């Protein structure tokens, strides 16, 4: 089995391939997850691409019983973003799950069709690299 060196660009590309929106009609990069480590790594990937952090938008999705301010403080620590980056929270009906997500989910948005197309191209190139290594 062949292996190749994996860098932050590869990891971010793989994360987006798995969890990101590919719809070009939205003209944006959009990534949703509940895992703080994935969110943190994906933001590191975007920052490595030189995005303007002032244009990053994040939206929390919580259940009505969740403490919105406490969850926001948590996600601010994870993302190193400010209040100005947060847009309105999506509030869902009470969770009936035995173990609802403790901090809800976070959506990261960056309006750039050019960046979306670049990431989609990166996905294709990564697939080609993997196929060549097989």
Which pLDDT does position 30 carry in this prediction?
98
Is pLDDT at 4 greater than 90 in this prediction? Answer: no
Which pLDDT does position 1 carry in this prediction?
52
Beta strands (DSSP E) in the chain are 29-33, 57-63, 90-92, 105-110
Is pLDDT at 7 greater than 90 in this prediction? Answer: no
Residue of 71, 59, 52, 64 whose CA lies nearest to 106: 59
Three-state SS annotation for 104-117: CEEEEEECCHHHHH
Is pLDDT at 77 greater than 60 in this prediction? Answer: yes
Phi, psi of 12 (to 5 degrees): -60, -40
The Cα–Cα gap between 125 and 128 comes to 5
The Cα–Cα gap between 88 and 58 comes to 9
- Residue 55 near residue 87 (C-beta atoms within 8 A): no
Average pLDDT, the chain: 92
DSSP 67-78: -HHHHHHHHHHH
User: pLDDT grade, residue 100 (50/70/90)?
Assistant: confident
Q: What is the pTM of this model?
A: 0.90
Which pLDDT does position 73 carry in this prediction?
98
Residue-wise pLDDT tens digits, 26-76: 999 999 999 999 999 999 999 999 999 999 999 999 999 899 999 999 999
């Amino acid at each position: 089995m062949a292996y190749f060196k994996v860098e932050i660009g590869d990891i971010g590309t793989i994360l987006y391939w798995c969890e990101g929106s590919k719809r070009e009609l939205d003209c944006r990069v959009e990534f949703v997850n509940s895992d703080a480590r994935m969110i943190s790594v994906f933001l590191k990937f975007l920052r490595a691409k030189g995005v303007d952090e002032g244009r990053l938008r994040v939206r929390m999705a919580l259940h009505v019983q969740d403490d919105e301010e406490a969850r926001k403080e948590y996600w601010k620590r994870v993302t190193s973003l400010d209040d100005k980056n947060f847009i309105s929270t999506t509030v869902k009906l009470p969770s009936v799950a035995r173990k609802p997500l403790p901090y809800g989910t976070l959506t990261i948005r960056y309006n750039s069709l050019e960046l979306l197309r670049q990431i989609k191209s990166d996905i294709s190139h990564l697939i080609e690299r993997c196929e060549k290594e097989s």
